[in-house]
Structure 1
Amino acid sequence: MTPVFQPGQTVVRREIMRGEPWIAMPQVCVQDDGDLLVTYTPGGTPMVYPETGAFPVGEHPWKLAGSTSWRGHGRLELHWTGVEHSIFLFWDGPQRAFQGWYFNLEDAPRRTPIGFDTLDHELDVWWAADAETYEFKDVVEFEETGPARYPGRMEQIRAEGDRIARLLDAGELWWDKAWADWAPDPSWQARTMPDGWATVPFEAR
Structure 2
Amino acid sequence: MRRFRQGETAVRRDLFRDRVWSAHALRVVADGPEALVLGCWPGTQMFAPTTWIDWLQTGDETARSRAIPQLACGHWQLGSWSWRSTAHLQWVPPEAWFSVHAFYEPTDGHRLTHWYVNFQQPMRRTAIGFDTFDLLLDLVIEPDLSRWTWKDEDEYAHGRRLGVVSEADHRAVQMAREEATAMIVEGTGPFASDAGWRNWRSEPHWPSPSLPTDTLTLGLPRPSGSG
Q: TM-score, normalised by structure 1?
A: 0.83
CA contact (8 A) 1:18 1:149 kept: no
Unaligned stretches of 5+ residues in structure 1 = none
Specify the alignment match of 1:78 in structure 2: 91
2:102 to 46, 71, 89: 89
Specify the alignment match of 1:37 in structure 2: 36
Corresponding pairs, count: 195
Q: Distance in 2 between matches of 1:180 and 1:168?
A: 14
**SS at the partner of 2:207?**
coil
Q: CA RMSD in A?
A: 2.6
Q: Distance in 1 between matches of 2:80 and 2:220?
A: 25
Kindly state the Cα deviation for residue 151 of structure 1 after the two structures are TM-superposed: 2.1
Is 1:199 the equivalent of 2:212?
A: no
Q: Distance in 2 between matches of 1:18 and 1:124?
A: 22
Specify the alignment match of 2:175 in structure 1: 159
Q: Distance in 1 between matches of 2:205 and 2:183?
A: 37
Deviations 1:19-60 (A, max 9, x none): 22111111111111244111112211122259xxx9535427
Aligned pairs for 1:110-129 (under 5 A) are: 110-129=124-143
Specify the alignment match of 2:188 in structure 1: 173
Q: Which deviates more, 103-112 or 125-134?
A: 125-134
Q: TM-score, normalised by structure 2?
A: 0.76
The 1:158–1:202 alpha-carbon spacing in structure 2 relative to 1, beyond 3 Å, is: farther
The 1:190–1:167 alpha-carbon spacing in structure 2 relative to 1, beyond 3 Å, is: closer
Q: Distance in 1 between matches of 2:115 and 2:173?
A: 19
Which structure has the bigger radius of gyration? 2
The structure with the greater share of residues assigned to helix is 2
Kindly state the Cα deviation for residue 131 of structure 1 after the two structures are TM-superposed: 5.7
Q: Distance in 2 between matches of 1:191 and 1:94?
A: 23
Unaligned stretches of 5+ residues in structure 2 = 50-69, 222-227
